[in-house]
Chains A and B, each alone.
Chain A
Amino acid sequence: MRLEPRIASPAQTILYPVAAFAATFAFAALLVLLAGVSPLGVFRLVFLGAAGSQFALLETLTRATPLIFTGLAVTVAFRAKLWNIGAEAQLYIGAVVTVVLGTGAVAAPSWALVPLIALAAMLAGGLLLLGPALLKTRFGVDEVVTTLLLNFIVLLFVSLLLEGPLKDPMGLGWPQSQRVVAEAQWPRLVQGKRLHMGFAVAILAALAVWLMLARSVLGYEMRAVGHNAAAARFAGIPVNRVLALTALISGGLAALGGVAEVSGLKGNLTLDLSPGFGYTGIVVAMLALLHPLGVVASAIFVAGIFVGADAMSRAVGVPSYIAEVMTATALLTMGTAIVFTRYRIRWR
């Protein structure tokens, strides 16, 4: 068996991804059958839970917000073939900076405090990824392992802070930080609902990343480094500097997701701020084929599955982990579909 490059017909470029989603739902249906429940009923509940009412839709968009940020972080990094698997840690560092500056340490009006926190958090997140990027360019250390291990180190660091210097004295002993002051909070987009400014910022960020990748010199250099680092170097592109800038931008985007979660939604920092947004961001980015605007759509889709599965799980006893199974399966089937659009399989 071998693969032969080809240019797929328009029908095929649509058909294969659709088949990938069909396969994902078929696999999920099989698992739901194991639970002894009708798959169609479960899918209906997932859909209603994700988009069946105004409340459900807003909840889905709220959940999509951090995923857009981590999805963009992964997109930027993966485009330059910088394998940032550490968006989880960068998001948490963003949240840490938010509560360090936002719980009363800096007294400033809202128009100054909100951007100050955002910029400081992005810098911290960027620097957190710059470390692995420099280790890669200077010492040849694989950034996959270092960014993965940093996720564990940073989570322990957050735990240390929440049981020490950042612990809320009024928190009844729970490891949680104080709430951010009113001036640091991000406003709600819909009065009385949970959807907050973070969603709007996320969309602006997606537009900005799209412009940068498609229209700027840096974006061009990043894509060149991603395609072929040796050729890029030969063409005079400063590969190491491009990778360093990529790291700063990617880490900064993930950190901004952490700011949004704390300032826009939760109000304080806890150890369960992120149920794996950093890892799910990889799925989001890959489903969007590393296109920044596609990230918005795929984040909303993935968030819908998670929110819908939660609602479904409360109604019938199918474990909500079905959402994680579905997103992971979608990642693998979509990757396969892309291969099929680009290559023809020859069996001899």
Chain B
Amino acid sequence: MAAALEILFTASFWVAAVRIASPLIFATLGELICERAGVLNLGIEGIMVAGAFAGWFTVYSGGDLWTGVAVAALTGAAFGLLHGLLTVPLGLSQHVTGIGITLLATSLTYYTYRLALPEVTSPPKIEAFRPLEIPLLADMPLVGPALFAQTPFTYLAFAAAALVAWLLYRTPLGLALRAAGENPDALEAQGLSVTAIRMGAVAAGSALMAVGGAFLTMSAFNSFFFEMVNGRGWVCIALVVFGSWRPGKALLGAILFGAFDAYQVRLQGVVGDAVPYQVFLMLPYVLSILALVAVSRRASYPKALMVPYRKGER
């Protein structure tokens, strides 16, 4: 029992928690932007796969790391535009289209991977982002290494959360975006285009999802392999609800989830073979469902979420 508690006071645990949370922060923010504008984006899982590959492959082919991040973002935005085109002006089912985008992005990625690297058996590694210690701050106990000795990619995740919060609540664009998800008629009455705002939001949100995927290959695992996203996208959809569509709460939710995930890995070491390892691996998914059950009754969905907007229709 004492050993299970001691885990909480090791720096490596908190470092891992924040590292695990980083890709989730990007992707959760991405989904949050889409949903705040009124569009559910179930393409998230596939877009993360595509982003993970695009970023990794750019660096593998000789590009530098930040170029990789940019390429991943553009890849995500492209899939986002497709999702937006089909669901916003054409009004296709957001559920079905999202699943379709996930299937398309995943299979296109695997196809490209096999085409580009036909012979490899073990995935090649790249020179990924290195931890960058921030002087003085990194020397604080526990919090220091966890927050100030991560890779620049993690710092970007925190910056993205701040930026999204500022955009949503402090700018006219954010107001328009939120209106698109709450009351699109009011937005149209202002002379703004619901279609344009929603399309833009889905493209931008999808770019963030892809950057989250790229974190996996460029800051966590250093190589690309199949199944590496492994349901993280779906977890992020749960995190958006858990964070009640607010960037700050979503950030906290992601870190909480990261801490839980890091904890279950370490707990396996303490408990040993007494409990099958699969039980620990299940816990994050079970936790996501439980979190949904806990908050869903009082969740306040964006009112126009999943409602296609047709001008002049009531």
Contacts and interface: CB of A to CB of B under 8 A. Distances in A.
Given A149-B234, A153-B282, A286-B96, A279 B103 contact: yes
B278 A332 contact: no
Interface stretch (A92-100, A209-217, A316-324): A316-324
B110 A321 contact: yes
B11 interface: no
Interface in A134-149: 135, 139-142, 144-146, 148-149
Interface stretch (B21-29, B172-180, B251-259, B289-297): B289-297
A325 B115 contact: no
A328 B100 contact: yes
Interface in A14-59: 31, 34-35
A3 B87 CA distance: 13
The winner among A139, A149, A150 for most chain B CB atoms within 10 A is A149
A173 to B, nearest CB: 16
A131 B296 CA distance: 15
Given A1-B195, A149-B235, A83 B95 contact: yes
Contact of A332 (B95, B104, B310): B104
B90 interface: yes
B134 interface: no
B169 interface: no
Interface string B71-93: 00000000000100010011111
B62 interface: no
B36 to A, nearest CB: 16
A156 interface: yes
B163 interface: no
Interface string B269-312: 00000001011011001101100110011010000000000111
Interface in B86-138: 86, 89-93, 95-97, 99-101, 103-104, 106-108, 110-111, 114-115, 118
A321 B95 contact: no
B126 to A, nearest CB: 22
B230 interface: yes
B168 to A, nearest CB: 22
Contacts of A140: 296-297, 299
Contacts, number: 131
Given A319-B115, A332-B86, A149 B276 contact: no
Contacts of B299: 140
A339 interface: yes
Interface residues of B, number: 49
B104 A325 contact: yes
Interface in A324-344: 324-325, 327-329, 331-332, 335-336, 339
Given A2-B311, A153-B282, A325-B108, 19 more contacts: A3-B89, A3-B310, A31-B108, A142-B241, A148-B231, A149-B231, A150-B285, A150-B289, A152-B231, A153-B286, A157-B282, A163-B278, A286-B96, A324-B103, A324-B106, A324-B111, A332-B100, A335-B86, A335-B92
Closest 6 CB pairs of A and B: A324-B107, A319-B114, A328-B103, A328-B104, A160-B278, A321-B111
28 contacts: A2-B310, A3-B90, A139-B296, A140-B299, A142-B241, A142-B296, A144-B42, A145-B241, A145-B292, A148-B234, A149-B234, A149-B285, A150-B285, A151-B231, A156-B281, A159-B278, A160-B278, A164-B276, A327-B103, A329-B104, A331-B99, A331-B103, A332-B97, A332-B104, A336-B86, A336-B90, A336-B92, A339-B90
Interface of B: 42, 82, 86, 89-93, 95-97, 99-101, 103-104, 106-108, 110-111, 114-115, 118, 195, 230-231, 234-235, 237-238, 241, 276, 278-279, 281-282, 285-286, 288-289, 292-293, 296-297, 299, 310-312
Interface of A: 1-3, 31, 34-35, 78, 83, 85, 135, 139-142, 144-146, 148-153, 156-157, 159-160, 163-164, 279, 282-283, 286, 317, 319, 321-322, 324-325, 327-329, 331-332, 335-336, 339
